[in-house]
Every structure is written in C-alpha cells, then in structure tokens.
Chain A
Amino acid sequence: METLLEMLKDMHPEVDFENNDKLIDQGILDSFDIVSLIAEIDNEYGVTIPPESIIPENFNSAKALYALIEKLED
C-alpha cells in the first residue's frame, strides 16, 4: 500500500491521498495521471489493469485502487 501512496505522492505532492476518496470526481487525477499510474503499477506490482476496470469507482481513492490491484493479483 505504501509504494502505491509513494507513487501518488510524487505525482501530486499537495494531495492527501490517505483519506481523499474523490480523486477522479474532483479532477485531481486526469487521464494522463491514470495512464502513468497504470504503467508504474505494472512496473511495481507486475499487474496490468485492463481498460474496462478504469472506472471512477476503482480510482477515486488509494484504498479502492489497492483493492483492485489485489483482486487482479490472485
């Protein structure tokens, strides 16, 4: 979970990712960030997030994102 938070931090240092659960709705993460995030997740966790799961629910908060990664891992 920590590596994920690190990734998000160095993209937008000013955002408190621990408990902000409106990253997409508030437009903090735009499509550019999402794509570079996916590339990094693939790099760190070896998990490729398929396009169909790029939906607001999965990316709105760090927790949701991590849950997605775990689901894809097993």
Chain B
Amino acid sequence: MLFTSHTFVIFISLLFLLYYTIPKKYQWKLLLAFSYVFYFIAGPKFLIYIIITTVTTYLAAVRIGKHYRHLDAYLKENKQTLTREDKKAYKSGVKKIQWKWLLSALLVNFGMLFVIKYINFTIANINWTLEVFGSGQGLSFVSIALPLGISFYTFQSMGYMIDVYRGKYPPERNLGKLALFVSFFPQLIQGPISRFDDLAKTLFKEHQIDAKNMSFGLQRILWGYFKKLVIADRILVAVNTLIGDTAAFDGSYVFVLMVFYTIQLYADFTGGIDITIGIAQVLGIKVQENFLRPAFAKNTAEFWRRWHISLGTWFKEYLFYPISTWQPMLKFTRYSRQKFGDRIGKRLPVYIAAFAVWFTTGAWHGSSWNFIVWGLLNFAVLMISDELKPLYAMFHGRFNVEGTFHHKVFQILRTNFLMSAIRLLDCYRDVPTTFRMFGSMFARADLSIFTNGGLLDIGLNVEDYWVLAIALMVVFAVAIAQRRGSVREQLYSKPAIVGRAVFYLLFVAIIVFGAYGIGYESSQFIYNQF
C-alpha cells in the first residue's frame, strides 16, 4: 500500500482516530495490530518472514539477557572470593555462550535475507561463470517476491540483537513490544532503521493528545506529500522517458537525467521519510531524522553523514567498527605497518573496513551489479578524497580561499555532481550502459536541447516546468529557513492564522498540482474504442 494511495490516507486517519480514543494502555497494542494489518495487505505470505525474524530475535535476546543477569548475580554473590583472573575467565565463558546465540540469530535472519534477495543474483552469476567455462547447463531461477521492507526490519532487529549482546541495554521481555519495534509500519516502506533504545523511549509510552505535536506531525506529513506528489511523481515521468530510450536521449540528455533523477530521488525519499516521521509525531513517537539538508554537503564524507543517516550509522556501528577492531585485523595492521611503513600501514585497516562496508551497502540497495558498483564507486571517491587531503592542504596554503562563500558553493556543486553521476547507475540498471551514457554526455554534448524545446518532448509540458520550478524554490526557501531552526517552530510563533494559511495552501497545492490519478495522463480523454 503506497504512501500515495487513498487507502493509505484512510488507513492512517483511522489509526489517528482510534489511537486517541481507546484507553491509553492499549495504544501500543493498537499500533502493533495496525502494523500487522498493513503488512497483511502488502502480502499475506510475507507475514511468515517477519514473524520468524521477530521470534528468533526475541528468543536469542532474552537468552543473552538471562546470561548477563546470571553473570551479575554470580559476581555480586561471591564478590570477595573471586580473583580478577577467575572473574575474567568466567566472564569470557559467558560471553562465548552468548556469542553462540547471537551467531545463530544472525545466521537465521541474514541467511533468510540472503536467500530471498540475492538467490537469483548468485544463480545469475553462477550461470555466467558456467557459461564462461563452457558448461552450458545453468541453474534455473527461483521466483521469490521480496517481502515488504525485509532489508529494513532485518537490519533493525539485528542492530537490536548486537546492542543486547554488547550489553548496551537489557532485552525487551515483552514479545508484543519487540514485534511492534520490528514491524512499526511507517518504517517498513523506506526506513529509517531505528535504534531500539532511541525508539523505545516513546514507542511504548502512553500518549495524550497534544495539539502542538499533532499539528506539527500533520504539517510534516503534508510537507512529505507535497514533495512526493508535486515534485517527485511529476518529474518521474521525464526520468522514465529518458531512461526508457537510451538511443534517443543521450548526450546532454544524460545531464538532464542526472539532475532530474537527483531531484526526483531527493523529493521522493525525503518526502517519504517526512511522512513517516510525521505519522510517528502525530502518534507522539519520536523517530530520528534520516536527512540533514543533504544538498548542502561540501564533500562526500559529509554527504553520507547527511543522507540516509540511519543506514550510515547502522553500517558504521555494526560493520565498520567491528571489522576494524577485530583481533585478526589489528594483527594484520601491525604486520602491514612493518612491511609498508607507517604511513600506508596506518590507513590499511580503514580502507579494508570501508571497502567491506561499501560493498555491503551497495548490495543492500539491490541485488544486481550496478548497485554493488555504485557502492564501490562511493568507496573510491571517499578514499581518493582522503588521500588527496595533503594536496588540498597544500592548495589552500597557497590560495587562502578556504571557507570563502565561493569555495563552499564550489564544494557543494562538486559533491552534488559526483553523487548524481554515481547515481546514474541506479537509473540505467546496467553498468556498461551507464558508463557509455556518461561518456556520451561529454562526447556528444549538444546544449541546443535547452533552447530548441528539446526539454518539451520528454513527457513534461511548460506548465509542468513552471510548477516544478516554483515548488523547488519553495523547498529551497524552507531549506534555507531551516538553518535558523525548525521552520514549524517559527510558524508556530506567528499568529494562528499564518499557520493555518500555510497548512491550507500546502493542502490545496497537493490536491491541485499533485501528479496523481487518471487525470494526470497527458491525453486526458483518451479516445480508446476497443
């Protein structure tokens, strides 16, 4: 059930109504029920997967928690008699058992994710290698549909597992509450991947109706729909046309596609997250931000601290750090420091860990080579910019332009260009084509398409461009205003009429200018006699 479907709007309105009318102690149970109804509508067959993930996570986490409690009780009980070594030995014994539990839960869940998502991808590659080595008979493909949000809730629950294993917080003993954490429906479609301790603060609490919270939440939902319906879904038509016909639309059209796809992805993704966070806010639940004005990132590293933050932090905490502080890895670093000398030796663990992270990030986005190459390109850019640091320092030493307005603008443009260039892999879904098209952007660049109406035959007419231009200006203005703190707070401080007027204008803009429904197709009364 997509965010933009009527049924979803009815679904959440019903939820809001019930949420604040039923007795407070049933509120989180209502959320759980709604989340599972949402999941059932998406695909009854998929319930089995989310239930397995929830149950295995619950069992393993509670087991680990039990061992921790035994450990603490044991240590407290014979505090004096035990020497430090005994304590350490006992502790590592317990750790080993807990590790087995963690491992089995990880195996089951990541195994399930791997089988469902990547089985065809691996078969395709096996077949490819078989062909290369001449044995014709390839494996047949397995037809599995992807359960809704499996990558999101699997990562979220595994993050919870590892936190419990690390003793960050005790496990949730109520299976229902854990089930809600795993299946909280707004997060199923586009994330964010929340941390248990962060979400649990408000997810299970009882919430009173709070006018300010409600209106802020609704405003945020509207803002999400504005970006999604007015901008993203409108420009998507042009994006699809440009992708659909690579022969006709190469050269400067590839640049147009880069810009359009970046706008579409930004509007669609941040819009979707706004809706998610807005819904949670109306329910009194605090979901962490997933974007921090990513368009203003001045370098790739900073970009990935502003874009899809929850995924970035997940990989950093549960993959990047563990790999780089892993015993064998540290041994390898010591070895490489003697062999390659201090300077290279020091950076090696970082690059190996980063490589692993970016490879999995790419694979996480989708099970095909273009996503993996997308991840590796990001890694390459990060590594190069890290290596060039001394060069930058030398450059800035000579022309002290560091920190000036023009330099910042240059950095922002450069980062955006780089990111959208790499993102082309997402559009063409095929690595050779992407590189060929990217090349053609320079080889066969002809800027006449901007003057001879070339932009009008990719599915958008002049009015569409006007709407997009104005809508993007509004988004830009809001982004600028956000530097001085939350825009909704500023609105809230003004007299009520202003707030309501903005709310109403946004609502009308979505209804009138939104790209939805049959009416949106270009030839409105399609003459179709058969």
Check B317 for interface membership: any CB of A closer than 8 A.
yes
Please name the residue on chain B nearest to A42 by beta carbon: B330
Whether a CB of chain A sits under 8 angstroms from the CB of B500 is no
Contacts A/B (CB < 8 Å), 26 sampled:
A27-B305, A31-B316, A32-B350, A32-B386, A34-B321, A35-B321, A35-B349, A36-B347, A36-B349, A38-B324, A38-B330, A39-B349, A40-B346, A42-B325, A42-B333, A42-B334, A43-B334, A48-B330, A50-B166, A50-B325, A51-B166, A52-B166, A52-B167, A54-B317, A54-B321, A54-B325
> Taking the nearest CB of chain B, how far is it from the CB of A67, in angstroms?
18
Set of chain A residues within 8 Å of B333, measured between Cβ atoms: 39, 42-43
| A interface, over-half SS | helix
Would B325 and A30 count as touching, CB distance under 8 A? no
Residues of A within 8 Å of B317, CB to CB, are: 51, 54
A43–B167 CA distance with the chains assembled, in angstroms:
26
Does A49 interact with chain B (Cβ within 8 Å)?
Answer: yes
Shortest Cβ gap from B17 to chain A (Å): 41
Is A43 a contact of B166 with CB atoms below 8 Å? no
B322 beta carbon closer than 8 Å to chain A: yes
In the assembled complex, how far is the CB of residue A70 from the closest CB belonging to chain B, in whole angstroms? 15
Is A43's CB under 8 angstroms from B325's CB? no
B168 contacts A31, C-beta separation under 8 Å: no
Known: A48-B325, A50-B325, A52-B166. A35 touches B330 (CB 8 A): no
Q: Are A43 and B321 in contact (CB under 8 A)?
A: no
A40 (CB) vs chain B CBs: closest residue: B346
Neighbour of A31 across the interface among B166, B320, B322, B334, CB < 8 A: B320
Task: List A contacts of B350 (CB < 8 A).
Answer: 32, 35-36
Q: Are B321 and A48 in contact (CB under 8 A)?
A: no
Q: Are A49 and B334 in contact (CB under 8 A)?
A: no
Q: Convert B295-339 into 0s and 1s, putting 1 for each residue whose CB lies closer than 8 angstroms to a CB of A.
A: 000000100010000000000110011101101001001100100
With A48-B325, A52-B167 known as contacts, the answer to whether A35 contacts B334 (CB < 8 A) is no
B301, A39: Cβ atoms under 8 Å? no
- Residues of A near any B CB (own CB < 8 A): 27, 30-32, 34-36, 38-40, 42-43, 48-52, 54
Is A49 a contact partner of B325 (Cβ separation < 8 A)? yes
Could you say which residues of chain A place their CB within 8 Å of the CB of B346? 36, 39-40
Q: Does B148 reach chain A (CB closer than 8 Å)?
A: no
B325 contact set on A, CB distance < 8 A: 35, 38, 42, 48-51, 54
- 8 Å CB interface, B339-366 against A: 346-347, 349-350, 353-354
The 8 A-B residue pairs whose C-beta atoms are closest, nearest first, are A52-B166, A35-B324, A51-B321, A42-B330, A39-B333, A35-B350, A51-B322, A39-B349
- Select from chain B the residue with minimum beta-carbon distance to A43: B334
Write out the residue numbers on chain A whose beta carbons fall within 8 Å of the beta carbon of B316.
31
A45 → chain B closest CB, angstroms: 12
Q: Which residue, B325, B346, B349, has most C-beta atoms of chain A within 10 A? A: B325
Q: A40: which B residues are within 8 A, CB to CB?
A: 346
How many Å lie between the Cα of A40 and that of B324 in the bound state?
11
CA distance A39 to B305 in the complex (A): 23
Alpha-carbon distance A49/B325, docked complex (angstroms)? 7
Chain B, Cβ-Cβ closest to A38: B325
The answer to whether A35 touches B301 (Cβ under 8 A) is no
Query: Cα distance A34–B321 when bound, in Å?
Result: 9
Chain B residues contacting A38 (CB-CB under 8 Å) are 324-325, 330
B229-283 residues at the A interface, CB under 8 angstroms: none
- Apart from A36-B346, A48-B327: 20 A-B pairs, beta carbons within 8 A: A27-B305, A31-B316, A32-B386, A35-B349, A36-B349, A36-B350, A38-B324, A38-B325, A39-B330, A39-B346, A43-B330, A43-B334, A43-B337, A48-B325, A51-B166, A51-B317, A51-B325, A52-B166, A52-B167, A54-B325
Q: How far is the CA of A31 from the CA of B315 in the complex (A)?
A: 11
Question: Which chain B residues lie closer than 8 Å to A39 at the CB level?
Answer: 324, 330, 333, 346, 349
A30 neighbours in B (Cβ, 8 Å): 301
Nearest chain A residue, comparing its CB with the CB of B301: A30
Contacts of B167 in A (CB 8 A): 52
